[in-house]
Structure 1
Amino acid sequence: MRILLLHGYSAANLGDGLLVEESLRCIYDAFGEDSEISVFASHPETFSHLGVTVLDSGLSRRGYDMKYLRSLFQLRKSFDVLVAVGGGYLRFGTPIEALKTMLIHGPQLVAASFSRVPSIYMPQSIGPLRFGSRRPVQQLLKRCSVVALRDDRSVQEVGSIAPVRRVPDLALISGSTIEPSLDEPLAKAVLSVRDVKGKVPDDVMELSSLLSDYDVYVQSRTGGNDDTRATESLGTHPEIDKTTLLENGPTRVIIAVRLHAALMALRAGHFVIHLAYERKGFGAFDDLGLNEFVHNVNDFDASVVLKQAQALMKDKQARESYAQQIEKSVSHRRSAYSTLVTQMKHAGSSTTRI
C-alpha cells in the first residue's frame, strides 16, 4: 500500500522526530511492514535515517519545492492512504502563528481534504482557532476519515464533527512502555526549558534559583525551536545529553517544559514534572493520571514544584504512588492504540469520501 505521511517538521526537534517515528509504527501496524511510505517534512535531511522517501515541504525564499507541489496535486494518483503526523501544528493563536500554519501546513490540509483519498490525522492538538479560522478548519477536517484529538480543549474547539475521536498522544500509546524505574533517583534534578513568548517564564527562573544545583537538558536545537539560548539564560549548569537521559544514564527527576521532553523521559523510566505551555501537556498528563504533576508554565508556585521534586528524589512512598497512577492508565492507553489502528485499517479500506 502506498502511504503518504503529512506535516513532518524536523528530527532535530526530538519530540517531532519521535512523533514521526511513532506515526510510522502505527502505519506499519495498520497496513503492514511492506507499506511503501513517503514523508512530507520541512527539514527532510533530518529524516534520512528512516529508510523512506522524504520530500521537502518547507517554504524557502525561492518558494516551495517543485517535487512537493507536484505530489500535492497528484495525491489520488500517487497514494492509497494519507496519514498526518501527530502533533500541534494547526494553530491560529496569533497572526504570525496563523500565517505559518497557512503557508506550511495549510496546503497539505487542503490537498488532503479534497483528494478523495482516505486521510487520517493522528493524535493532534488543534487550536486556538482565531481570526475566522474555526469554520474553514472544521469544514476541511469534516472531509477527513479520522481526526484524532489528544486533549479536551481541542475537542471542544473543533466541535462534534463526525471524524473526531479523543485519543491520547502517540508517545503514550505506542512504542515503549511507561514504567518508572525502581532505582532511587540521583539527588539532583534535571531542568529542561524553552522560551515561551520570547523568554523563559519568570516562574521557571524562580524555580531555577530554588533548585540551585541541577543539571540541564536541551530537547530541541533546530530553527525557531532551538532551546540553547533559553538554557544558557539559566546560568552555568552541567548538561546531560540524549544518550545519558534516554538510554544508559541513572534514574532522575526531570522538570521539563517541552511536552515530549517530559514524555520521552517518562518512557526512559524517569520521574517527571511537566511545566505545560499549551493544552497538549494537560491532556497528556491527565491521560497518565498525573494531574498533580503538570503545572501552567506561566503561572505556577515554584516552591510547590520544588517540594514535588524533592519528594520524588527522597521519598520511596511518593515514587510508588507516582508509579501506581501511571499503572492505572495502562489499560486505557493500550485500548486506545488498538482502537486507533483498527480505525486506520477501516479508513484505508474505503476508496472514496465526500
Structure 2
Amino acid sequence: MRVAIAGWFGSDNLGDEILLHTLMAAVRETREDASFVVLCPDPERVTELHRVDAVHMPTLRSRGTGERQEAAQRALREADILLLGPGTVFQERSPNLPWPGTLPLFARMVAMARLAGTRVAVAAAGVREDNTAAGRALLRWIGARCRAVGVRDQRSADTFGRGAQVVGDMAYTLRLPELGGIVRGQRFGLSLRPLASDAEASLIAASAEVVQRLRGDGWSGVFLPMAYGRGANGENDATIYDRAFRDTLDVATSPLDAEQPLAVNLDGWLTDLASYRLVLATRLHAALPAVALGVPTVAIAYERKVLDAFHDLGLGEFTVGKDVDADTLYRTATAAAAAPEVFREAAGRVAVQGTVARGYIASVFKDLG
C-alpha cells in the first residue's frame, strides 16, 4: 500500500512534524504494509526527520517547476491514495502567503491524483478563517472529489459543506510515554510565536511581566521553541526568546534539535513536558500535548483554531486572546495551576477524541484494496 501525504512539513515546525508522525502511525495501525511519500516544501528535511520518501509539492512559482511537476506526478501515479493534511493546510489568507494562498495548489494536486486514478481524502486538516466566496467554492470542489473529508473542527466542516465530518486534531492520537511516578515541581513552560508587530509587542510585554511575577512566586520557567522557520518567514520562535526571555528563562530542547529521527526524541520531549506544573502557549501543538498529559495549560488564542480546540475540550475558561493584559494572563495562569483535576478530565477527553481520529483513518482505508 503506497500512501501519499500532502502538507506543510519540513519547515521545522514541531507541531506540523507531530501531525505527520501521528498520521503515519494511524495509517500503519490499519495498514501494516503502508509505505509513504510526502509532498511538502522541504523533502530532504522530511526524509531526515521521518525516514520516508518525499518530493516537492508541484508549486508553479519556484525554481525547477518542471522537475517538481514530474516528480509529483510520478509520486501520485504510484500511490494508492493521497491524504491532504493534517494541519491548517487550506489557507487562502495568511500573513506569510500571498493570495490566493494554498488553495489552487491543493486543487491542482487533487486534479493530478484524479487523472492518475489515485483516490483522495482529507485527513484531519483545517481551513484558515476568512475565506472568500471563491475560496469556499474551490474547497467544496476539492471535497466533492475526495473519498472522505475529515476535518479538525466544525468551522472547517461547514466550509467544506455536506459530507465533511469533524474528526479532531491528529495530535489527539499521539502515543504518550509511560510516565510512572513523575513529580511536578514549580516549573512552567512558555510557548510564544511571532505575530504581527503590534500584537507581538503587547503579548511579549504581558508575558514578560507574568514570567517575572511567577518567578517572584518561586516558579522556574522554560521557553518552548516550537518552530524554527526553516524556509518560512516569520515562523522562528527563537527570535522571541532571544529578544525578550534570554535573561529570565531557560530554553527547552526540541526534538528538532537532534540529528536522529523525530520519533527517537519525541518521548523524551513529552516526558519533560509532563513534568511542568503549568504551560502558557500560543502554539496549538504545545498546548494540546500538554493537555493530553494532564498539565494545566493556558492557551493564548492568536487564531480561531486555538480557541476552538480549547472550547471543544471544555477548557474555554483557560483561553485568553493575543491582546491579553498581564493581570488577566497571570490570574488565568494561577487559576489553571490550581485546578489540576480539570486538566486530568480534559486529558480523558483528548484520549476519546483520539479514538475518533483513528477510527476515521481506518474508515478511509477500508475496502481500499
TM-score (norm 1): 0.83
Q: Secondary structure at the match of 1:242?
A: coil
The answer on 1:197 being equivalent to 2:196 is yes
Q: Is the 8 A contact 1:245 1:265 kept in 2?
A: no
How do 1:86-165 and structure 2 match up within 5 A? 86-93=86-93, 96-102=97-103, 105-112=106-113, 115-128=116-129, 129-130=131-132, 132-160=134-162, 162=163, 164-165=164-165
Q: 1:24 to 1:283 in 2, by over 3 A?
A: same
Deviation at 1:329, TM superposition (A): 5.1
The alpha-carbon distance between structure 1 residues 16 and 117, as it changes in their structure 2 partners (threshold 3 A), is same
Structure 2 stretches lacking a partner, 5+ long:
216-220, 256-267
CA distance in 2, matches of 1:245, 1:50: 16
Relative distance call for 1:338 and 1:53 in structure 2 (3 A) is: closer
Given the alignment, which residue of 229, 237, 242 partners 2:248? 237
Deviation at 1:259?
0.6
Distance in 2 separating the partners of 1:103 and 1:231: 35
Q: 1:108 to 1:147 in 2, by over 3 A?
A: same
1:330 equivalent in structure 2: 351
Distance (Å, rounded) in 2 between the aligned partners of 1:179 and 1:280:
29
Aligned pairs (5 A) from 1:158-173? 158-160=160-162, 162=163, 164-173=164-173
How far apart in 2 are the matches of 1:273 and 1:178?
A: 24
1:180–1:302: structure 2 CA closer, same or farther, 3 Å change rule? farther
Q: What is the aligned partner in structure 2 of residue 23 from structure 1? A: 23
Classify 1:153/1:114 alpha carbon distance in 2 versus 1 (closer, same or farther; 3 Å).
farther
* One-letter amino acid matched to 2:38: V
Question: Structure 1: which 5+ runs fail to align?
Answer: 350-354
Q: Distance in 2 between matches of 1:35 and 1:248?
A: 31
Question: Within the alignment, does 1:343 sit opposite 2:363 as a pair?
Answer: yes
CA distance in 2, matches of 1:308, 1:16: 27
- Given that 1:114 and 1:143 are in contact with CA atoms closer than 8 Å, whether structure 2 keeps it comes out as no
Question: What is the identity, as a one-letter code, of the residue corresponding to 1:304?
Answer: T
Deviation of the 1:170 alpha carbon:
0.4
CA shift, 1:5, in A, is 1.3
Q: CA RMSD in A?
A: 3.0
Structure 2 equivalent of residue 291 of structure 1: 316
Q: Given the two structures, how large is their TM-score scaled by the length of structure 2?
A: 0.80
Does 2:285 match 1:274?
Answer: no
CA contact (8 A) 1:180 1:269 kept: no
| Separation (CA, whole Å) in 2 of partners of 1:253 and 1:261 | 12
Amino acid corresponding to residue 167 of structure 1 in structure 2: V
Q: Do the aligned partners of residues 93 and 308 (structure 1) sit closer, same or farther apart at CA in structure 2, a change above 3 Å counting?
A: same
The aligned residue for residue 309 of structure 1 is: 333
Match of 2:342 among 315, 321, 328: 321
What displacement does 1:143 show?
0.6
Structure 1 pair 197/191, CA: closer, same or farther in 2 (3 Å)? Answer: same
Q: Could you say which residue in structure 2 is the equivalent of 1:352? A: none
Distance 1:306 1:82, change over 3 A: same
1:175 is displaced (CA, Å) by: 2.6
Residue 12 of structure 2 corresponds to 12
1:241-271 deviation line (CA, Å, top 9, x unaligned) = 2367533473231101011121233445533
The equivalent of 2:56 in structure 1 is 56
Q: Secondary structure at the match of 1:207?
A: helix
